[in-house]
Amino acid sequence: MEPRTVLPHPGARFALTGLLAAVLVPLQGQTVTNGSVTGPVGNSMVWALPGWTACSQPSNNSPDVLDMSFASWNGSTTVTPTASPDGGSWLGLANGVDPVEQECVSGAMTGLTVGSSYQLRFWGACFGSGPGSYANGSPVVLTLTIGTSQQEFIIPMAAGTWLPLAMCFTADATEMDFTMQTFSGGGYGSFDGFTVGPSNGNTDVLPDTVLCLGGTLLLDPGLANAAYIWQDGSTDGTFLVDAPGTYWVDITTACGTGRDTIEVTGVTPGQLDLGPDTTLCTGTTWTIAPGLPGAYEWQDHSTAHAYTVTTAGTYSVAIDGSCGLLRDTVEVSVAPPPAVDLGPDTLFCAGGVFLLDATLANASYHWHDGSTSAAFPATQAGLHWVAVTVDGCSARDSILLATEECGVLVDMPNIFSPNSDGHNDRFIPVTLRGVSTSALTIYNRWGQAVYETDDVRQGWDGRVAGTACAEGTYFWCIRYRSTLDVAATQSGHVLVVR
């Protein structure tokens, strides 16, 4: 048997509490087409409602669009209607001309997610009209069908009372119809304010909000037929907040139980703080999101509730909200990334050390092995990298190192001819391997130093004090330090010929 909901006559005591306040329930793109019923007011001869379709039923089927002029249609009204919660017209079904009358209408819902749970919420009332012979106080029985789910509501005749109604369902399509079929022996079923949103088991009913410091804020989930337990154990349908903080409420209905957590941020009236001036790294963005309700106007007159910064400049916002007009400004600068250069890929001697140096001012470092020094003494071949951060901006460089077997070898020629013919004009090493630093001194045959250099790779051009030396035999001495950091000396002689 389908679920049945018997709604109480006004004044009766019942356990299901809470009023439906659709405007307080954050919808997520789901809508009911023409949910706040608008269209030409009239009886069954006038039926023109976008999104609504009159069903074909075996007996009387004359759905109406009614408003407050309803009372004058038949010249008398047993139970007088009041304006609908939406303040306009509403659907009228089953006014009881026959002993038992049935009427049917279908509506449309859009924006659903297949497999998600939703709640169709609306207002319902039962009014009496026409001659007293059939306005006999009988209730309206509403059968609501959504997909394969069905629920029955018994709505008693009640003067001026609109009751919150709701049905839970699981979406099996992104667009779904719902069918309302009424039976009545005298009451006039009236319905309005159709909305669809997440079921009560959803945990996003109340949005995060702000509290104007020194004031109070009423948290009201506004869900139909719900039981509440707040974080302090209270069970009222609302909770009065007088301080910022984190609040939660467990909500139980036929759709299940879910907990919603609400962050309440305190705001001093007239004050807004976008935070300190900020530096962005080149290529990055910063989204300024105050997170406060109200009407926004940014420095470029845009009105979104968040602003994405991509360039340096001055950014400001004015927010006109419940805590008054709030304004603040923030300066944003843009910093380039640090210049990190470990040099070209390099070959070094096996067993030696190759020092990688990434030193920059005011920087922090993170090497491939997790070390954090400015320099890294590489002893192994492979890919080495470092990330360097300066003032919050980072850059990275890498180098590929390879090794070779290269013991110390200093091989110097024993003759050269500094005659400027482009061949063998300088006395330089034939081979120099495994040496990190070296110095060369040239001596004449009397042991006098005639030339010196702190880099043997520069060699000697055969001049002494800028003048070409005489031909003959000269002696050389090389003092070097190996790549293994061992100091040594090597010497020999060379013949100068022209």
132 pLDDT tier (thresholds 50, 70, 90): very low
Evaluate if residue 18 carries a pLDDT over 50: no
Q: Do 138 and 283 fall into the same domain?
A: no
Short-list 321, 324, 289, 295, CA closest to 307 = 289
Evaluate if residue 429 carries a pLDDT over 50: yes
Residue finishing a domain among 368, 387, 404: 404
Report the CATH number at residue 434. Answer: 2.60.40
Residue 1 is predicted with a pLDDT of 38
Distance from C-alpha of 395 to C-alpha of 144, rounded to nearest angstrom: 63
Residue 13 is predicted with a pLDDT of 23
User: What SS3 state is found at 443?
Assistant: strand
Q: What is the mean pLDDT of residues 217-245?
A: 88
Distance from C-alpha of 135 to C-alpha of 133, rounded to nearest angstrom: 6
- Has residue 204 been placed in a domain? no
- Has residue 31 been placed in a domain? yes
Q: What is the pairing mode between strands 324-335 and 313-321?
A: antiparallel
Q: Do 148 and 75 fall into the same domain?
A: yes
Q: What range defines the domain where residue 378 resides?
A: 346-404
* Torsion sign, CA atoms 182, 11, 68, 40: negative
Q: What is the DSSP string of 225-267?
A: TBEEEETTS---S-EEE-S-EEEEEEEEETTEEEEEEEEEEEE
Return the number of other C-beta atoms located less than 10 Å from residue 304's C-beta: 9
- Judge contact between 379 and 356, C-beta under 8 A: no
> What tokens appear for 129 in the block?
């009209």
Short-list 105, 73, 66, CA closest to 88 = 66
Q: Do 219 and 181 fall into the same domain?
A: no
For residue 481, CA distances in Å to 351, 373, 427, 460 come to 15, 26, 20, 20
Q: Do 216 and 141 fall into the same domain?
A: no
Q: What is the pairing mode between strands 435-443 and 415-416?
A: unpaired
Q: For the chain, what's the residue count?
A: 498
Distance from C-alpha of 364 to C-alpha of 74, rounded to nearest angstrom: 87
Q: Do 177 and 219 fall into the same domain?
A: no
Higher pLDDT residue, 344 or 322?
344
- Has residue 168 been placed in a domain? yes
**pTM flag (> 0.85):** no
Q: Do 86 and 133 fall into the same domain?
A: yes
Q: What is the DSSP string of 398-428?
A: EEEEEEE----EEE--SEE--SSSSSS-SB-
- Has residue 164 been placed in a domain? yes
- Has residue 320 been placed in a domain? yes
Q: What is the mean pLDDT of residues 494-498?
A: 94
Q: What is the CA radius of gyration of the chain?
A: 44
Q: Do 174 and 139 fall into the same domain?
A: yes
> What tokens appear for 6 in the block?
């018997």
Report the CATH number at residue 88. Answer: 2.60.120.260
Residue 186 is predicted with a pLDDT of 66
Q: Do 354 and 393 fall into the same domain?
A: yes
Residue 49 is predicted with a pLDDT of 78
Q: What is the DSSP string of 116-144?
A: -EEEEEEEEEEEE-S-TTT---PPEEEEE
pLDDT in tens, 166-176: 888 989 999 99
Q: Do 25 and 122 fall into the same domain?
A: yes
Evaluate if residue 155 carries a pLDDT over 60: yes
3 pLDDT tier (thresholds 50, 70, 90): very low
476 pLDDT tier (thresholds 50, 70, 90): very high
* Torsion sign, CA atoms 133, 139, 145, 150: negative
- Has residue 272 been placed in a domain? no
Residue finishing a domain among 168, 198, 228: 198
Residue 42 is predicted with a pLDDT of 64
Q: Do 254 and 234 fall into the same domain?
A: yes
For residue 449, CA distances in Å to 192, 246, 416, 456, 475 come to 111, 86, 19, 15, 9
- Has residue 470 been placed in a domain? yes
146 pLDDT tier (thresholds 50, 70, 90): very high
Q: How many domains does the chain have?
A: 5
Q: Do 95 and 183 fall into the same domain?
A: yes
3-state secondary structure 73-123: CCCCCCECCCCCCCCCCEEEECCCCCCCEEEEEEEEEECCCCCCEEEEEEE
pLDDT in tens, 289-317: 988 878 999 999 999 999 999 999 999 99
- Has residue 273 been placed in a domain? no
- Judge contact between 469 and 463, C-beta under 8 A: yes
Q: Do 377 and 259 fall into the same domain?
A: no
Higher pLDDT residue, 318 or 96?
318
Residue finishing a domain among 170, 198, 226: 198
pLDDT in tens, 98-127: 555 678 888 999 999 898 888 898 888 887
Q: Mean pLDDT score of the chain, rounded to an integer?
A: 81
> What tokens appear for 321 in the block?
């909200």
133 pLDDT tier (thresholds 50, 70, 90): very low
pLDDT in tens, 259-269: 889 999 888 88
> What tokens appear for 162 in the block?
């609109």
User: What SS3 state is found at 283?
Assistant: coil
Q: Which residues pair with 123 in a beta bridge?
A: 164, 192
pLDDT in tens, 372-425: 999 998 989 999 999 999 988 999 999 999 987 777 888 899 999 999 888 889
